Amino acid sequence: MQPTFISHNQVRSFIAKQSFPEESEWPSLLYCLQGQQFNTNLSPEQRTAFADLLAATLHRKKCTTALLRDVFKEKEAILNIPYVKELQSALAETASVLDRFRSISQRRLGDVAHLEKTTLSTVMSGKDPRAMVSELRKAFKAVVEAMEEDSKILEELSVTDQLTGLANRRFFDEYLAQAINETSHKDAVALILLDIDQFKEFNDQYGHLVGDEVLSIVGKIIRETVSACNSKEHKNYLSARYGGEEFAVIMPDCNEEQCLLLAELIRERIEHYPIVIRDNQGNILKKDIQITVSGGYCLMPRKWLTAKQPSEQLIAAADNALYTAKKRGKNMICQCKPYLDQHKKLTQVVL
């Protein structure tokens, strides 16, 4: 269901009926919540949350001091949604890397112990010194090469989402900033955001294990589609897990047609992928389950290159298009297209 936004007149009417004392903080808080519904600096999720909070508050019969404190807390929680998500994502990634690092460290402890034993037995063998040096070099070389390989693995782990195999949010942020800084004069940087439709309901119905499997499948489809595109067109597009059930594709040096074609190709492949649910023994419980994604994309205009935070503007524009795709019925791709209005002001329209 789409949220129902509360109008300024509805809030004013409610306040008039309540007869708040002059020093009450309620009127300013309610008007603040009403305004946040339309704050374009917030994500669609936050604006919807403010609409829901305001609607719930207006249905209360009494606006008590205790309720005022609760609404203030909820307001702050909604404003902190993006930071909480980033923190949760960072903690999950850190835990995964630490687990792998612990496993590698334990394995290398065994290798070092074996090297120590090999060194001791070689020295005590009484062999020709040149033969001993050759054996010791081989033993040390094997351990050094294994450690170098471990270093590569850990470096890859630090930029990879472990569930989907896509780039993680940290690397997404770095790559987008780099792509914007290296933008050519010919083509623009584009961003596609994709979100699995009704994923919460799917998770509630089938459980988080099945939900994780779906995230893995969607990630694999996106990764393989983008990789094939890179190989065919000699591009350097990056696919990433943006957070939760949301995914992203960064497209340096591309045009509008290329962006739309890739977004639609990903959407169609996910739509036609048959999801099968199995039990622990591998028996099929349900098959041919359809999942879909909604998407939004935006090509960054040149004027944003001089902005203070061009990455955030591009993300917000793509997110706005994604939100519109959800609102219009899901399983579709929308474009947020910036343009100069009659007052030479950069404005956005979602197509």
The CA-atom distances, in angstroms, between 14 and each of 21, 57, 118, 331 are 14, 10, 83, 38
Q: In what order do the strands lie in the sheet with 346-350?
A: 238-243, 246-254, 188-196, 293-299, 333-340, 346-350
What's the farthest any 2 CA atoms get from each other in the chain?
101
From CA 250, how far away is CA 229, in angstroms rounded? 13
Note whether 222 and 166 are within 8 A (CB).
yes
Q: Which residues are catalytic?
A: 245
The amino acid present at 165, given as its one-letter code, is G
From CA 51, how far away is CA 27, in angstroms rounded? 16
From CA 160, how far away is CA 153, in angstroms rounded? 10
b/e burial code for range 283-302 (CB count within 10 A of at least 16 → b):
eeeeeeeebebbbbbbbbbe
From CA 300, how far away is CA 201, in angstroms rounded? 33
Joined tokens for residue 324: 């519109």
Helices in 37-80 by DSSP H: which ranges?
44-58, 65-79
Burial of residue 34 (CB within 10 Å: 0-12, 13-18, 19+) is buried
Note whether 140 and 60 are within 8 A (CB).
no
Burial of residue 45 (CB within 10 Å: 0-12, 13-18, 19+) is middle
